[in-house]
Amino acid sequence: MNKTFNGKLIMNDDGQFELETYDDGVVNITKILDGIYSPTSLKDSQVYVKVNRGNGGILFEEDGGLVKKIDKDGVNSYHICGNNIDLLMFNHTEEALEITIEKGNYIGYGRNS
């Protein structure tokens, strides 16, 4: 699964993050991450995520194991390399964003092209 989506980020009534895209309709980003996450294998949970503002500028770019843990606010959130992707999305709801998600098996650090 390697895909880039452009649109307005919203939080639905279930607390999931969705992107109202310009081309693909509504894309549930939380469900995509749920499909990548493996609670039993960090190797199977390897992912690359990049989030850009719609008007430019990188907000988030990490690759590594996707883990779920309770954050400082008591919310069970997705993290990549210790960075809270759910908190970032929460802080940027209602904004135009470009989100790239690539599932992959990375060896060491860095994306395999």
Whether 55 has a pLDDT exceeding 90, the answer reads no
Amino acid at the residue 9: L
**Res. 24: pLDDT tops 60:** yes
**Is it the case that residue 109 has pLDDT exceeding 90?**
no
* Residue 112 falls inside a structural domain: no
Number of domains the chain is built from:
1
Per the domain annotation, does 61 fall within a domain?
A: yes
Q: CB of 102 within 8 A of CB of 36?
A: no
Distances in Å between the Cα of 74 and the Cα atoms of 14, 29, 71 are: 17, 21, 5
Kindly report the pTM of this predicted structure: 0.87
CA-nearest of 100, 91, 34, 18 to 67 is: 34
Which residues constitute the domain of residue 50? 2-103
